[in-house]
Structure 1
C-alpha cells in the first residue's frame, strides 16, 4: 500500500488534467450539452487515453531515468510526436479501447477519436503512425500484464481497472453535469425572455371588461404589500413591486433556486475528488456560475433602453428596469457563491493547492469579474440613483464593462475556446453592444448631430428647452456634451412634440404669450415631492419668448429644476446661440414600431373614457393623449392637472393654443395651481355608481405619492365593480 500511494498521486494529477484541466486544446463549436459533446459517445476511449497519461514512454525525456516513486510526480509529459509514434503506447491504447468500449460503437467513431486525440488535443499535431485497426492488428497475443507506472512501457500492457474507473467517472461526470448546467441556464434565459411575451398575449383573450378590471385590481396593479409602489419604502432604500411584478420576480427567484439545487450527477470513484462532498461543492460551483451567466444576459437585456421585449409586450420600461434590479442581485449572488465555493474547495485540497491555482491568470480574472459585479450593487441603491444620478451612471458603466471583460477572460484563460462557456459571456456583450454601440448611436444620428437647444426659465421651479428641427415622441434622452466632461451622460425627458400634437391643439404661442408675470406660489404641499414647503416668490422670472431664429417646428421639454444638469442648463437660459445637444429618441408608447400593440391608454370600444391625472411636468407625457382619434368611440376625456405655479400652465397653454380655456381639444381640463387635487375624491366623483358609460382608463403621470394614491383608488373602485383600469406613465432608468 505504501508503494501504491505515490502511484495513485501521480495518476490523480495526470487524470485531473485529462478530465478537463487542459488550458489549451482544440477549438470547439457550441457548448456542452447544446451542440457540443466533449467526450461522449466515446467517453470510454478518452478514459483509456487519460488512464495512460502518466505512463513513461521510451521516447519521452524521462525514459532513461531511474525514478523513485515520489520523483514520478515531477516527470515530464511525452511530446505529441512521442505519443503518435510509440508502438507500445499505440497498441496498449488500442487494446484498452477494444476491451472497454461497447460493441455498438461504430468503427468510424473510434477511428475519428484515434486520429484526433492519440497525440493530444491540439488543432495542429502529428497523426498517429497507425490507424486504430492497424494498431489492433499488431497485437499478436492477448496482454495480461497491468502496467507499472514507475517503469518504462516496453510492450502492450493493460491499464489499471481502478484508475480507468476513476478517469471514466471523472470524464463522464463532468460532461453530464456541465450538460445539465448549460441546459438549465438556457431554461432560465428562455423562460424569463418568453414569459413577458406570453403574459402580454393574454391581453388578446376576449375576457369581459368587468373580469379584466377585477383581475388587475386583485392580482396585478396594487403593491404586493402596503400602500407604496412609486414612493420608496424600507427607509427610502427600495421599491415595493406591484403584485403582478412580484409574481414574475417570485418565479425568477424560484426557478434559480430550484435549478441550483437539483439534478446533480454523482459519479464514483472519481479521479478529481477525494470524497463525494468535495465533488458536490464543485458541481454546485459550476451550476451557480452558469446560471449567473444566464442572469447576466437577462439583467443587461432588461435594463437596455432598446430592449426588444418592449416592442413585443405590453410591459412598461419601468417594469423591466425594476425586474432588472432583482435579476442583477441574483446574478451577483450566484457569481459570489461560485467564487466562494471554488475558494473553499482548493483551500481544503491540501497545502499549496490554493496558492498554485490562484497563480493562474484565469483565477484572478475571475476575481476581477466577480468583484466588478459585486461593486455594482452599492453604487446602485435608490438614494444614490436619485441624488447622484451622474455618479450612478458612471459607476454602472465602469463596473458592467469590467464584469463582462473579466468574465470573458476568466473563461478564455481557463479553456481557450474548448468548452463553449465563452458563448454565454459573448451573448451578454452582444446585448450590451447592440444597445450602447448600435441602437443608441443610430437614434442620435437619425435626429441630427448639429442640433441646438434653447433654454428658457419659466420660474424658480421649471425650465423650458426647445429643440427646433427634430421629430420625436414619447421620451427622449438628451446629451449636452459641452456642459460636462462626462460626455456619455444622458437624461430622459418627456417630449412635447410641437409638430406632433393633433392639429386642433397645435398653436405657435410663446410661453409668455399671456403677458402675465409669474405670481407668488400659494402656500401648499409641494406638488412634486409631497413635502410641505414655504412659498417662494418668482416675481420677475418671466419666461422669455422663443426667439424667431428657432421658432420652428420641433420638440420641447419642461424640466423641473433640481441640481446637476438642470442647474447648468439654467445658466444658459436666454442664450441666442443655444447650446449643442444630441437627441436620442423616440422611446415609450408613442414610439413608432411595426409590432407594438395598440396603445391601451387611448379610447377603445370597451374602454371609451379616459381620465388623465398630471402633476407638475408630468403633463408633458399626457399631452399626446389630449385629442381623441378621429374614429374613436364616443366617450369622455378629462384632465386634472395639479401644478406648483402658473408660468408652467401658461407655457403649456401656449403650446396647445387654449389660454385659460376649460377644454383642450376634446378634453375637459381642470387645473389646480399651488394645490394638489384629492385624487381619490376626483376618481370617486367621476367613476362611482356608473358615472361613466363604458370602461374608463385612468392614466397618471406625476409625483410618486400621487401615482400611488391613484393606483390604490383605481384598485378599490374596480373591486367594487366599477369598470376601470390603471396606467402609470413612468420612464425609469
Structure 2
C-alpha cells in the first residue's frame, strides 16, 4: 500500500469514527476506547495525562487513541498529544545533540590539523625572518621552555614543551574543555530520560566519546613519519611527536569520561546488568582498557629503558582500541549514524603510513651493511656503512632482519655522509677562501664533559665524494645499537656484515628552506654523534659565513669524522657556548648583518643550554641579529 493510499484509508476511517460518535450517546464509547494501550517510556511507563511541564499541541481526533506498546495495531489510531510530544522532545534532543557532538569533534580535528599550517605561513611574510623585532618577541613567546630552563632534558613526567608548543597545547586543551561542556539541547519531560540529571549524564558522556575520536584522528596523523604537515609547515617531527602525546592525554581523558558517565547512567537506571551482556558494551570495555593501558606503557622510563616493548605495545594497544571502538559502534548502530567514520579515518592514516613505509623499503631494496667498531671511544660508538645508492642527508630508518627475531623493527639514524665504499671510509673537510680550522680537546665541559671541534670559516664547504655507500655513526645505548656493538666489540677493532633494509631518508626538521634562504650565515653546534645531523647544513652552506663547533667526549669519534682537522689549540678548554653565541648574534660589523641560522644537535643538556643562552642574549641586547633556531633533537 502506498503512502497516499494509506492516508486516504486513514481519513476514511476517521470519517467513519466521527459518524459513529455522532450517532451514539455521549456517555457510550466503542470498546476499543475502553481498552487503551499505555505508552511505555524507555525505562518506565506513564499515564495518559500530560506530565507536569509538558506543552502539547491542541489537537483532537475521533479516532481511537493509542499510546504504543507491544501489541499489534489493527486499525487506524491516533497518537495522543502528550505521548507524541514526549517522543518529539526525545528525538529532537537526540538529533540536535548528536549533530553538535559531530560539529565539536570536527572543530578539534580541523583546528588540530590546520593551525600548524596557518601559523607556518608567517615564514612567507617578506622580511619577517630578518626582523630583529620578530626575533625579540620569539625569545619570549616561542623558544624558551614553558617553565623552568629545560626543554630537551626530560623530567620525571617527560619533556617540558617550549612556549610555542605550550601555546598550541593550551589552545587544544581549552577547546577540549569548552566544546565538551556545551552547548547542549535539553527538553524535559521526554520519552527516554526520566529526569534532567539522567539526560545530562548521557549527553555529556556521549560527547566525550565523540571528542575522544577527534583527538585520536589528529594524534594518528602527528605520529607518522610521512606526516604531510612536515612538507607544508616548518614544525619538526619532534614537535609533532610532543603534540601527539598531549592529544593522547585528551583522548584517554574523554574515553574514561565517556565510559564512566554511561556506566553511571545505566547503574542509576538499573539496567547495567542487561547492558553488560550486550556485544557493543563488551567491545566498549575492550577499547577503554586498551587506551588506558597505553599510558603506563608509554611513560618516559619505559621508552628509554625498553624501547622495543614500548613500540610494540603502543602499536598493538592502539589497534585494539580502534578495533574495539569500531565494533562498539557497529553493534549499537550498524552504519546508521556515521560514528564509524572516525575509526576509518584513523585506521586509514595508519594503514597508508605503513604502505608508504613498505614502498620506501621496496624502492631502496635490500643492501649490505658493514658494522665496525671505532677506536678510542670505549665501545660507545659504532660505524655503519651501507652499500648501494648513496643517501645525501636526513634520517634513515634501518632494519636488520637477520639480527634478531624482531625482523620488522626499524630504528632511526642520521646520515653522516656518502662516499666511496670502504670499510674505513671517512669524511673529507675542505676549505676555500680565508678561514681557520681548529680542534679543541676538552676533558671537562659543562656540556657533558665533551671534547670540542671549532671550525671558523668565511666560505667553508664540507663535502664528500659521491660514491656507492652511505655512512652512519651511532651511539651505543640499549636495544639494536647494543646488539650491534656486542657483535664487533673486542680487544681489537672488528667488522661484520649484515643484510639491511633502508626506509627513507626523511627530513624531520619540516619545510624550513624558506627561512634558510633568507639567512646570511649558519652556525652549527653539535655534541657527540649529533655532528651527523649538522653536516648537511654545513655542506649546503649559506650566502655568508658557515661555522661549526663540535664537542665530543671521545677523541676517537673526532678522529673518525674529521681527520682533516689536525691543528689543535686550547687543549683542555671547554666549549664556551655563551661566548660563541654572543660573538655570532651581536652584530659587530655590517658584513655579518642579516639573519643567522643556528643549528644545534647534541645531548639534551647541551641543547637546553644553547636555547637558554640565545634567549638571554637576544633579550638583553637590542643590536642582536635576527636568527632561526633549528633544534635537531635525537631523542623522543
Give the TM interval when normalised to the shorter protein. 0.7 to 0.9
Aligned counterparts of 1:583 and 1:626: Cα–Cα separation in 2: 24
Contact 1:642 1:675 in 2 (8 A): no
Does 1:714 find its partner at 2:614?
A: yes
Does 1:174 find its partner at 2:126?
A: no
- State the SS of the aligned residue for 2:633: coil
Deviation at 1:580, TM superposition (A): 1.3
Q: Which residue of structure 2 lines up, in the alignment, with residue 185 of structure 1?
A: 105
Q: Which residue of structure 1 lines up, in the alignment, with residue 364 of structure 2?
A: 447
Contact 1:260 1:284 in 2 (8 A): yes
Q: Quickly say closer, same or farther: Cα 1:145–1:710, change in 2 above 3 A.
A: same
Contact 2:235 2:509 in 1 (8 A): no
Deviation at 1:531, TM superposition (A): 7.7
Contact 2:259 2:288 in 1 (8 A): yes
Contact 2:371 2:495 in 1 (8 A): no
Among 243, 250, 256, which residue is 2:163 paired with?
A: 243
Deviation at 1:73, TM superposition (A): 11
Q: Quickly say closer, same or farther: Cα 1:176–1:142, change in 2 above 3 A.
A: closer
Deviation at 1:180, TM superposition (A): 0.7
- State the SS of the aligned residue for 2:273: helix
Q: Which runs of 5+ in 2 are unaligned?
A: 1-6, 11-34, 43-55, 429-440, 452-465
Deviation at 1:513, TM superposition (A): 10
Among 181, 185, 197, which residue is 1:261 paired with?
A: 181
- State the SS of the aligned residue for 1:181: helix
Q: Which residue of structure 2 lines up, in the alignment, with residue 486 of structure 1?
A: 406
Q: Quickly say closer, same or farther: Cα 1:675–1:490, change in 2 above 3 A.
A: farther
Q: Which residue of structure 2 lines up, in the alignment, with residue 202 of structure 1?
A: 122
Does 1:583 find its partner at 2:502?
A: yes
Q: Which residue of structure 1 lines up, in the alignment, with residue 566 of structure 2?
A: 660
Deviation at 1:432, TM superposition (A): 0.9
Q: Which residue of structure 2 lines up, in the alignment, with residue 229 of structure 1?
A: 151
Aligned counterparts of 2:215 and 2:164: Cα–Cα separation in 1: 20
Contact 2:530 2:634 in 1 (8 A): no
Give the ranges of 4+ consecutive aligned residues of structure 1 lying more than 4 Å apart after TM superposition: 67-70, 99-102, 148-154, 506-509, 511-514, 574-577, 672-676
Q: Which residue of structure 1 lines up, in the alignment, with residue 253 of structure 2?
A: 333
Aligned counterparts of 2:413 and 2:225: Cα–Cα separation in 1: 13
Q: Deviations along 1:481-520, whole A, 9 cap, x unmatched?
A: 2222222222111112315xxxxxx997935899xxxxxx
After TM superposition, list the pairs within 5 Å mapping 1:489-528 onto structure 2. Answer: 489-499=409-419, 510=424, 523-524=443-444
- State the SS of the aligned residue for 1:618: helix
Q: Which residue of structure 2 lines up, in the alignment, with residue 564 of structure 1?
A: 479
Deviation at 1:659, TM superposition (A): 4.6
Q: Quickly say closer, same or farther: Cα 1:523–1:204, change in 2 above 3 A.
A: closer
Aligned counterparts of 2:442 and 2:582: Cα–Cα separation in 1: 26
Q: Which residue of structure 1 lines up, in the alignment, with residue 580 of structure 2?
A: 682
- State the SS of the aligned residue for 2:342: helix
Larger fraction in strand: 2
Q: Which residue of structure 2 lines up, in the alignment, with residue 377 of structure 1?
A: 295
Aligned counterparts of 1:526 and 1:218: Cα–Cα separation in 2: 25
Aligned counterparts of 2:618 and 2:520: Cα–Cα separation in 1: 16
Q: Which residue of structure 2 lines up, in the alignment, with residue 649 of structure 1?
A: 558
- State the SS of the aligned residue for 1:608: strand
After TM superposition, list the pairs within 5 Å mapping 1:39-78 onto structure 2. Answer: none
Contact 1:317 1:732 in 2 (8 A): no
Aligned counterparts of 1:266 and 1:415: Cα–Cα separation in 2: 22
Aligned counterparts of 2:314 and 2:571: Cα–Cα separation in 1: 39
After TM superposition, list the pairs within 5 Å mapping 1:67-216 onto structure 2. Answer: 143-147=62-66, 153-206=73-126, 207=128, 209-216=131-138
Contact 1:404 1:425 in 2 (8 A): yes
Q: Quickly say closer, same or farther: Cα 1:680–1:513, change in 2 above 3 A.
A: closer
Deviation at 1:416, TM superposition (A): 1.1
Does 1:613 find its partner at 2:525?
A: yes
Q: So what's the TM-score if we normalise by structure 1?
A: 0.70
Aligned counterparts of 1:674 and 1:376: Cα–Cα separation in 2: 47
Q: Quickly say closer, same or farther: Cα 1:674–1:701, change in 2 above 3 A.
A: farther
Q: Quickly say closer, same or farther: Cα 1:423–1:642, change in 2 above 3 A.
A: same
Q: Deviations along 1:297-339, whole A, 9 cap, x unmatched?
A: 1111111111111111000011100011000000000001000
Q: Quickly say closer, same or farther: Cα 1:241–1:148, change in 2 above 3 A.
A: closer
Deviation at 1:396, TM superposition (A): 0.5
Aligned counterparts of 2:72 and 2:282: Cα–Cα separation in 1: 39
Q: Quickly say closer, same or farther: Cα 1:433–1:339, change in 2 above 3 A.
A: same
RMSD: 3.3
Q: Which residue of structure 1 lines up, in the alignment, with residue 538 of structure 2?
A: 626
Deviation at 1:565, TM superposition (A): 1.3
Does 1:290 find its partner at 2:290?
A: no
Q: So what's the TM-score if we normalise by structure 2?
A: 0.80
Contact 1:447 1:471 in 2 (8 A): no
Instruction: Give the total of aligned pairs.
Output: 550
Among 267, 273, 283, which residue is 1:365 paired with?
A: 283
Does 1:698 find its partner at 2:598?
A: yes
- State the SS of the aligned residue for 2:316: helix
Q: Which residue of structure 2 lines up, in the alignment, with residue 466 of structure 1?
A: 385
Does 1:456 find its partner at 2:372?
A: yes
Q: Which runs of 5+ in 1 are unaligned?
A: 1-44, 49-66, 75-98, 103-140, 500-505, 515-520, 534-550, 663-669
Q: Which residue of structure 1 lines up, in the alignment, with residue 352 of structure 2?
A: 434
Deviation at 1:155, TM superposition (A): 3.1
Q: Which residue of structure 2 lines up, in the alignment, with residue 277 of structure 1?
A: 197
- State the SS of the aligned residue for 2:185: coil
Contact 1:611 1:699 in 2 (8 A): yes
Contact 2:145 2:151 in 1 (8 A): yes
